[in-house]
Chains A and B, each alone.
Chain A
Amino acid sequence: AQSVTQPDIHITVSEGASLELRCNYSYGATPYLFWYVQSPGQGLQLLLKYFSGDTLVQGIKGFEAEFKRSQSSFNLRKPSVHWSDAAEYFCAVASYDKVIFGPGTSLSVIP
């Protein structure tokens, strides 16, 4: 069965510091992988997605993620965090008919 784990429930970083959010998945076939962001009181917005090809994926707002099949991971990174990046981040894996979301990582940014 598909599953997604995000080991970090909450992360705090200083503005301007680098960021890495971890995601591990379990899926029998080649996965479709996503990162979504949710600002307070809002719905989810897609940051980036991986289907195939280059394992380093670029997304919006300066985010990138790297797919590592050997580690079953799809970690999200940003070289320099802005205060507006404070939000909840969800990793997700998709099969042909539905998407399974991880529990989320809450990001706080210290000015």
Chain B
Amino acid sequence: NAGVTQTPKFRVLKTGQSMTLLCAQDMNHEYMYWYRQDPGMGLRLIHYSVGEGTTAKGEVPDGYNVSRLKKQNFLLGLESAAPSQTSVYFCASSPVLAGETQYFGPGTRLLVL
């Protein structure tokens, strides 16, 4: 089992460019999440999904879009990147309820110039 994987590991963008971060899990989990981590702010939830074909907004959704077309994949899109989106992005999944353990990917470092 690979667990939760994230692609890419690191990316540099120019302001206004777009990109998609891919998260994949092989544990057949229903719930998937995207967080961003910034110094002193912990992890903040961007968007999440409670099942295939569903998405919902978290704490900081502005500037991001997500899709969950397949149960195992959760995509995070930045349509027009801004320097404020420079961060480390983590994907996580959990079996059913959010009260269950979340399993995290290794993270994607994004730098927006």
Interface residues of A (CB under 8 A from B): 4, 9, 32, 34, 36, 41-46, 49, 51, 90, 94-104
CB-based contact B42/A103 at 8 Å: yes
CB-based contact B102/A46 at 8 Å: yes
User: Once the chains are docked, how many angstroms separate the CA of A98 from the CA of B107?
Assistant: 19
CB-based contact B99/A51 at 8 Å: yes
Interface residues of B (CB under 8 A from A): 4, 31, 33, 35, 40-45, 48, 50, 56, 58, 90, 92, 97-99, 101-102, 104-107
Measured between beta carbons, the chain A residues less than 8 angstroms from B43 are 44, 90, 101
* Interchain CB contact (< 8 A) of A43 among B40, B58, B98, B106: B106
User: Once the chains are docked, how many angstroms separate the CA of A104 from the CA of B35?
Assistant: 14
CB-based contact B102/A99 at 8 Å: yes
- The contact sample of 10 A-B pairs, CB cut-off 8 A, is A9-B40, A32-B98, A34-B101, A43-B107, A44-B104, A45-B104, A94-B99, A98-B58, A99-B102, A102-B42
User: Once the chains are docked, how many angstroms separate the CA of A49 from the CA of B99?
Assistant: 9
The smallest beta-carbon distance between A103 and chain B, in angstroms, is 4
Given A95-B99, A98-B58, A103-B41, 7 new contacts (CB under 8 A): A46-B102, A90-B42, A97-B97, A101-B35, A102-B42, A103-B42, A104-B42
Q: Look across to chain B and name the residue whose beta carbon is closest to the beta carbon of A102.
A: B42
CB-based contact B101/A97 at 8 Å: no
Measured between beta carbons, the chain B residues less than 8 angstroms from A42 are 106-107
Q: Look across to chain B and name the residue whose beta carbon is closest to the beta carbon of A90.
A: B42
> Given the known A-B contacts A97-B50, A98-B48, are A44 and B90 also in contact in the complex, defined by CB atoms under 8 Å?
yes
Measured between beta carbons, the chain B residues less than 8 angstroms from A34 are 101
Q: Look across to chain A and name the residue whose beta carbon is closest to the beta carbon of B48.
A: A98
Q: Look across to chain A and name the residue whose beta carbon is closest to the beta carbon of B94.
A: A99
